[in-house]
Structure 1
């Protein structure tokens, strides 16, 4: 018989669970989370310093605010998902913001517009229950084109760049190519899957996610002269006030209505991706519940819409950098649920495991100078890895959706349009191509396991 969910302090549809008081500390998850967060949480710092004119310390301060907001999903809102970025939307966002606006002020205003548009969209669709109906109404070809557009934009950002920013790979070509190759092979290679089943060491390396690629880059980079380390000791106090003065609409001014309007299609596109994350998260939890009859996990789409909406609203006001406030980090969710499913002796509660992974909401990483300065030369590697793994995953998901060759060709056209044109033009091209080439091919039941 399933037991009640882990208790906490209820406020509205949310549940606040205080670390160490409501939840236990699991060192296994905390150790993984510390190093994986170190490997990925700072990936946007090179973009913030090069294209948004922040200092390294100011970019660290903005990343710390992002981390605190992500942790709030678990602690203050009581979500049962491992929160993360809406990563597939990131390359589309960077193309829109960096390619469409020339100065840091207007770029941060565009980020504010995206975050606030997304927040309003989520809250409206969540409260009214229209979110699921909207995603079912969209045709499969258009949804696949949106996902493939993210893949194309990611590859373009890594290998080509644009007029205002060079390609990511140009900074450290050998290190980035080797790191991406290692991560793609260990994450997706079919021959390696057989070795993972046969050898525990290979399975262990594959389970480390981005870290093997980082390790290769960290070792090879200095050998080829692309990376040099200058590790400093001590504590860093991130200059939150200085960063706030450069990014917040309260200081730099609010976006114009034109910016809000031009950002709306990208908010809609991001919502389609986010909804897929929520459905995936639900299925991962349901699979775990087959083994954990002793704990009830409340899956509440309305709560998730509202919590992600509130976090994006706060993001747009205080540290605008879209889309860093999503519902779920799929790889982490799978890892934590797998251990939770092993029984109460392995993990007392799913919420305890999730909050432990996110270091109990305490952003230690952003205060430790040795770790920050040690990772600084590897941040372009982190960004490239994030985008390339996103590109590969998005590509195979997108190309698995179409049911005939005409639809597959149309998906490529839509993806290219979304990657290379502004969001309104790309979305209009996608709708037109879908109607003319395949018709409105919506699936009446695309998420058959959703409650």
Structure 2
């Protein structure tokens, strides 16, 4: 099975497998690849050299592609949750990219809001969604006992087995994109801007 892993839609990789054991194997393959890559770069200290080696345009494309994919997946729900989603988008965009917001004096509140922009967006969306009637919450008190046995049997390599070598190889490009997404901005902060 040939899979194209693209930053524009990582769902191509996981979506190409049948729900159930095959999809769990694909997710395990991705988790194994990501873990090995992170450990390799952490232990060897080659992470910074890798980020210097990857062309700036490619890093920017991966980051932009991931943002487009995330935004695109939300467009499908826009008809049913217009107020909720638009509220979340506006709050997050203001906190992350607004020039007037960045020009405000650095206070403790501003730092907390900016560093938790997505959480603040979720909270604002939840409030707007409840007020507009688009979403509702059913909160019940009680003790939830996780089904650990079922989870181990259906979602772990000890229950469903390890993925095939071919599946692990197919997951490598996406795992490298995950590594770039996670650490690219830390190298931007050090002065190696993606936009030079």
What's the TM-score, normalizing by structure 1?
Answer: 0.37
Aligned to 2:70: 154
Change (3 A) 1:252 1:136: same
1:279-358 counterparts in 2 under 5 A? 279=187
Aligned counterpart for 2:152 among listed residues 223, 235, 244: 244
2:166 matched residue in structure 1: 258
Query: Does the CA contact (< 8 Å) of 2:7 and 2:65 recur in 1?
Result: no
CA contact (8 A) 1:95 1:153 kept: no
Q: In structure 2, how many angstroms separate the alpha carbons of the residues matched to 1:266 and 1:256?
A: 16
Per the alignment, residue 102 of structure 1 pairs with 18
Superposition map of 1:400-415 within 5 A: 401-403=194-196
Indicate conservation of the 8 Å contact 1:186/1:205, yes or no. no
What residue in structure 2 maps to residue 209 of structure 1?
117
Equivalences for residues 139-288 of structure 1 within 5 A: 139-159=55-75, 167-194=76-103, 196-197=104-105, 203=110, 206-207=113-114, 209-276=117-184, 279=187
Runs of 4+, deviation exceeding 4 Å: 89-92, 277-281
What is the alpha-carbon distance in structure 1 between the residues aligned to residue 14 and residue 113 of structure 2? 34
Contact 2:17 2:23 in 1 (8 A): yes
Q: Distance in 1 between matches of 2:59 and 2:127?
A: 40
State the partner residue of 2:3: none
1:183/1:212 contact within 8 Å kept: yes
The alpha-carbon deviation at position 277 of structure 1 amounts to: 5.4
Structure 1 vs Structure 2 CA RMSD: 3.3
Structure 2, unpaired ranges of 5+: 1-5
Structure of larger gyration radius: 1
Q: 1:173 to 1:242 in 2, by over 3 A?
A: farther
In the alignment, the residues of structure 2 paired with residue 211 and residue 118 of structure 1 have an alpha-carbon distance, to the nearest angstrom, of: 25
CA–CA distance in 2 between the matches of 1:121 and 1:259? Answer: 16
CA contact (8 A) 1:221 1:227 kept: yes
Aligned equivalents of 1:204, 1:144: Cα separation in 2: 25
> 1:135-170 CA distances to partner (integer Å, 9 max, x unpaired)?
3222222222222221222222222xxxxxxx3445
Q: Which has the higher contact order (CA 8 A, sep 6+)?
A: 2
User: 2 CA distance for matches of 1:91 and 1:243?
Assistant: 30
Number of equivalenced pairs: 189
2: CA distance, partners of 1:272 / 1:211? 23
Q: How far is the alpha carbon of 1:233 from its aligned partner?
A: 0.9
Cα offset, 1:264, TM superposition:
0.9
The normalised TM-score by structure 2 is: 0.76
User: 1:231 Cα shift?
Assistant: 1.2
In structure 1, what is the Cα distance between the partners aligned to 2:56 and 2:134?
43
Note the residue ranges of structure 1 that are not aligned, 5 or more in a row: 1-88, 160-166, 284-396, 404-451
Q: Secondary structure at the match of 1:197?
A: coil
The Cα offsets for residues 147-200 of structure 1, whole Å up to 9 and x where unpaired, read as 2221222222222xxxxxxx3445523211112212221332112334x329x7
> CA–CA distance in 1 between the matches of 2:91 and 2:47?
38
